[in-house]
Structure 1
Amino acid sequence: MAAKHLPVIVLLHATVLLTPAFAQQPQVGVTAAVSPAARSQLGTAAMRQVRLGDHVLRDQRFETDDRGAVQILLADGSSFTVGPRSSLVIDRFVYDPDKGTAKLAASASRGILRFVGGAASKARDGVSITTPVGTAGIRGAVVDVQLGDPVRFDLVYGDSIEWAGNDGQSGNLSQAGTSMMIGADGPISYDDNLPPLSPGQVTDSPNPPLAGTSPLDDNPSGLAGFSGAPMGMDLSDRSFAAADMGGGGTPGSEELTLGNTQTQINSGSGSGPVDPPDPVDPPDPVDPPDPVDPPDPVDPPDPVDPPDPVDPPDPVDPPDPVDPPDPVDPPDPVDPPDPVDPPDPVDPPDPVDPPDPVDPPDPVDPPDPVDPPDPVDPPDPVDPPDPVDPPDPVDPPDPVDPPDPVDPPDPVDPPDPVDPPDPVDPPDPVDPPDPVDPPDPVDPPDPVDPPKTREGPYNGFASSFSGGSAAYGGSAHLVFDSASGTFSARISPMQWEGAAFEVAQGQYVSDNEFGASTGDGSLQVAADPAALCDCDYLSWGSWEATVPAHGTEHSAEHGYWVVGNLTSSAELPTDIVASYSGRAIGAVSDGVSDVRTVTGDFSATVDLASRTASLQISNFDGRSFGASDLYLDIKSMGPDGIFSGGLMGDPGSELHGSYSAGFASDGEDKAAGMLGTFDVQDDGWSASGIFGGSKEPPRL
């Protein structure tokens, strides 16, 4: 059945309003053209029909069926035309209108679309479109994309398309009118004689072809090519009443309306290469929102009345006086006891020698004078007792006779002298012990062959320099045979357009001793594997080569490679929350001195449950760079589990570049390590290299 257009497709000027339900998300653009069969979804919210003039938000998904199409105009002047049976997500969009710079990342999982570059595509890594089989970087171009097997990219007009496949393959287009096809299995192919794609064509057939011709191919400024200068952002509210769907159109109309310009859609078909789109006048500037009136002043609170005074308590009557006690009569006088006769006199004791004189104690400071106590009233006078008669006189004792003298003791004879003891004989001398024979010498152990633990394929990444400047990263593939002590290798830089440096058979002595040289180049394992990271399940080293291919000679010098057991996206746990640390090793050129080797620190964080990650390389020739707000989704990695993105320097720096990375298994943990490659440049300075790191233990 021939394709025909739906009754109404309406284009709207870029100045639109945002619904309150979506206002919390950052606005990045506007839907500038819609057919009825297009829907969108934000997060986990329900799908809703896209309306003309809807704002486009970050992380918003757009889907169409057989009769659907929608055009998305972003704030920097970029645009997407999403064709029938298609799906597109705006993953990331950052725009600085003062500097005229922007950065855009989107994901397309099925269907057909056209991208027209704005300010974001002026930078080499400003625009990336991720597909199920890899990521395309677009610079200053109009590009058509068809998702299928194979995935097809057409460079309709402009500078270039750079491709980084999930399987490690890379490619590029730089000639308008050429196409690049990437199959699920097999190499990348190129063609310059394919019929053009038609992202803007809408049909009513249940299974129309995705490729072919379209009236929009004859009018690039229509639905498939509408773009222009950066637009302003209107953040005011907007409700989606049913009447908003009209847009001034009437059922049965075949017109596309943009401002005061009307373009008639022809029903004919076109063929051949598509001309570049005509320039479109920039949209009118958006008036700033009306200022918000300040809130009314708040009246001060009413004064609070003071509390009522409290009456003082009633006075308390003093207690009644207490009568003094009755006086007590003095006791009756007691008669004195009868006199007692004195005891008989006792003989005086023998005289005792006087004790040794004792030194008088140190004088003690007199105590502080104490205030005299208050005078006490004298007691009442007491009558004196009756006088007592004196005792009778006692007769003196009789005199005592002195004791008899005592005879002195008899003298004591001195003791008899004691004979000295007999001398003791010295002990007999002890014979010295017999000498002990020394032990027999022990033979040294037999030398142990160095270990060869690598077996089978190891995949990873490679970096290089070409012509004195850093080149894009590429893929590395090594296969080990421990039984025969050999290995093979294939290194394919992205800029070599599918060509590669290959080693058919090299000598594998041990895990830390293998390498090969061929007529095209050489490959060598690093002498100190731990210089990259403390992870024996990774292997890394250096390489250089000159390979003729595709009618030219590709060269690489100061190159590095790193490989391991890469974990596929199907094997990755979806609940990984981890941090990684290790080292980065590469080469640097400042355009003045020779290319030199440089090292730095590598760190990364991953939370696959929330699909977020960060990656940082620091202290690398005095510079630091990374990606702090990555969107990491297993579904967008592709079968090999490889993910790619852009790198930025510190705020205010012009440094920028790209990276590719993946997870490696240690035999038990599928995400035990992270490895990858990077390339960056900054005002005459450029660098490329590899990085690797192991998972840090969880913090308690």
Structure 2
Amino acid sequence: MTNRKILAVLLLGTTFSGLHLKALAENSVGVTSAVTPAANTAAPGQGMEVVRLGKNVILDQRFETDATGVVQILLADGSSFTVGPRSDLMIDRFVYDPDAGTAELAARTSRGVLRFIGGAASKSGEARLTTPVGVAGIRGAVVETNFATDGSGAVGNPQQPQLALLYGRSLTLYLPDGRVEVLTEPGTGMTVQPAPAAQFPVVAILPWTQSLMPFEQSFPTGATPDLQLAAMIAAVLASNPNGLAGFSGPPQPVPMVNFGNSAGPDAPVLPILPDDIFWEQIAEGPDDPEPPVDPEPPVDPEPPVDPEPPVDPEPPVDPEPPVDPEPPVDPEPPVDPEPPVDPEPPVDPEPPVDPEPPIDPEPPVEPTLSYSGVYTGFAVGAVPGRLFADRGTAEMSFNPDTGAFQGNIVIPSLPADNLIASDPQGYRADDDFGATGPNLTVSSGTGQLCECEFMQWGSWSATDLGDGTGDPINVETGYWVTGDITPAAEHPLSGSASYAGSAIGTVTQGGVSSEARGDLAASVDFGTGLGDIAITNFDGYSFGASQVPMGANSASVTPEGTFGGGLQGLNGEMLEGQFEGAFVANGADPVGGVIGGFSAYVGVDDWYASGVFAGSSLNPTPSPN
């Protein structure tokens, strides 16, 4: 009879200084360290199976639990995930350098409750968790999330996604619309109220005193993260002592400790283990050894091969007889020399040509100064370290009489949200203008984004903005686009129009940023107020929106004439994003062009993009109101 040997490892220490994992498989990133049977997993390209204790975990392996399932995943850098009931988890990226003590970690969850305890990945950088409401960035922290949709395991309103910072440094939520919400005070959390299209979700920050895990109660006073993790495991063992995968008997006794009188008479009693000790439980003895295998009998040697007989040599070949020499050839008689040729008479030289008179230089071309007054539009900018770009508005002022120029960038999510740069001689030509202020630099772009000389675009950067904690915030490369925006009251109420142009922006992938360009196509039915927009071939990605409110006949368009909505991949990409836009006048047509800004990301590719777009109308002027 073959015995089964079971090993359970529970690590109770926030520093994980006692972690000594067994040798992992070559492609493994960690192991399952605690599990109940109601938990399943599927490796890439394979079907679902029950999670087994101590099994290696690989990238893109999916974990799912039902109403009573719990699984804990322990990674090589000391990070751990605890997946609660009716929940799922997938680890997308994990890179660990044990010698340097650094790691990179990216995972995703789409439903249920989850606890993350940070290891080297969140101490040396920012661990990333993609969720249904955005990307959570975790630095040196213990974090819980709740995305339950049926009420099971949820705390508070289950329809409002929840994130909580239980302990540690910070929890940052990067929303798809470009906003950033940050928790730095342990014991605080946030809820995210979904919003209709073209509106932003509502985020509420509030104190947090209760665990999101369904089998835990409010934390007692003084309960540290290791005791909170112990409370979770103790509760699972107490409710189902034989439920951990591979256990055939009750757990062996371990030292116990109470939270103290402040926790009340019914406070849970929890197991406490030193950082460098594993808890091992062996149900039965070691496996019986296999019987020895009988050796194979020796093989008789092959008999020797008789040598080939020698080959007789070829007889010698008789030599060819000598060839008689050719008789000598008589020499040719000498040829008489040609008589000398008389020399040509000298040619008289041509008379000198009078030089051409010098050509007067062309007078200098006067620069074109066709812009006058204030033009409004959109601005985007990427802050290093943030996953999503910050979006806002732009306002550019031109004075052709004096040559003065002023740029104004308003980004609500930046500490200094109203940046101004001006120059009394900054407007030199329609394609050459700019200014520098205390924190802002604005300059014109090179060339046009479309056949639309009535619009303007360019780049901007900002430095030393500050975030209230002493750390400076810089925007290295941002983009803006402006024009004469047409208010909703001046939109046509019938007819249709199509637009073509291009987009320009910044792409960040794997921590490296670069400029990217793509094509813009848009169309709108002014009778219904609905339209389509597509940005294609942008760093290899294509994305857009279909049947979004754009015209005045749609109630979602603002009185100022701006509109917006969500973006999604056009070729099956797992892409999400947001855009804002508006129609601009070209002098004769109030909707002769379209401008806007956008941000997008593909979490599985670690790809983030932001930029602006502009297009000009391909149709005659639509029917007036």
Q: TM-score, normalised by structure 2?
A: 0.43
Q: TM-score, normalised by structure 1?
A: 0.39
